Amino acid sequence: MARRTNSSLATPEAPMHNAAAPEHSTATNLLISLRPGQWSKNLLVFAGLIFGVRLFNPGSVAAAMEAFAIFCILSGVVYLVNDIADRATDQRHPLKKHRPIASGALPVSSAAVAASVLTLGALAGAFALGPGFGLVAVAYLVLQGLYSGLLKHVVIVDVLTLALGFVLRAVAGVVVLDVSISHWLLVCTSLLALFISLAKRRHELVMLASDATSHRPILGEYSAYLLDQMIAVVTASTLVAYIFYTISPETEQKFGTVWLGLTIPFPLYGIFRYLYLVHQREGGGSPTDQLLHDPPLLACVTLWVAALVLIIYYRPVP
């Protein structure tokens, strides 16, 4: 059970520095606040590259890399703005209190200026890649703004909004390359993102226990049992949607192969492994941590991508 701290020490006007934390420069604290370690969430931008059959097109690869970099910056800005807005509650959180803004190591004014400059630069780069991609980037920022201000306080809508943020990354990767991908694939992406969002809520609820609502009020609307029921529904839906995608005539015709169904065991194992980490290892708080620090899960995703590339792009000589 998380231990309460004195609320009088957790005010924006008098931030409490963590005496045990190492001293960093403003630039270093800014980089930490941008959360570069969360880059793997933006890998969804490359979905259009793989499923649009552009993986070996140098121009498309370059455009996808630029789109990936822009979304890394935009998501970093979102983290920065959220840390500014939530610094009071973060100071009472057992883990978040060590973040540079919550601890007072990074001045709010410096963080705000950096967020403004990075936002303008990223949006300029987004529109330079194409008006459609620029609009998706704007939509992503607007969505995150709505989530931070209002939607994170609306039960169920909060997790749907989190999931939509992942879907917009995939849409951005499709738009920047001007390719088309199956509606089934977008459904799979939406459901998988919702699965991850629900697992994140469950982790927060279990980890914070009786202190949960003081850190995130919306957690009072959930219970572990309710979230488990929702996760079960989404898990089954995700797997069914992916199976339908791999065996659909549309998919077979587009890629010229009937073998995409051979990849079904990978998402099956990956989702079950994630559930194992959530329930048995008390994980799920950060999908990035789960992916990069759990060798079986990382191996599963890597093999899945390798199998997709091999099946979609390999054309045996007659």
Give me the pLDDT at residue 178, please. 93
Give me the pLDDT at residue 240, please. 95
Give me the pLDDT at residue 13, please. 37
- The pTM of the full predicted model, rounded to 2 decimals, is 0.84
Mean pLDDT split into 10-residue runs, the chain, 318 residues = 39 40 77 86 92 94 97 93 82 79 86 93 96 97 91 93 93 94 88 92 80 76 93 95 93 91 96 91 73 90 96 74
Distance CA 29, CA 99 (A): 9
Q: Are 189 and 208 in contact (CB under 8 A)?
A: no
- Side-chain-side CA neighbours of 169 within 13 Å: the count stands at 27
Give me the pLDDT at residue 205, please. 86
Q: Are 238 and 188 in contact (CB under 8 A)?
A: yes
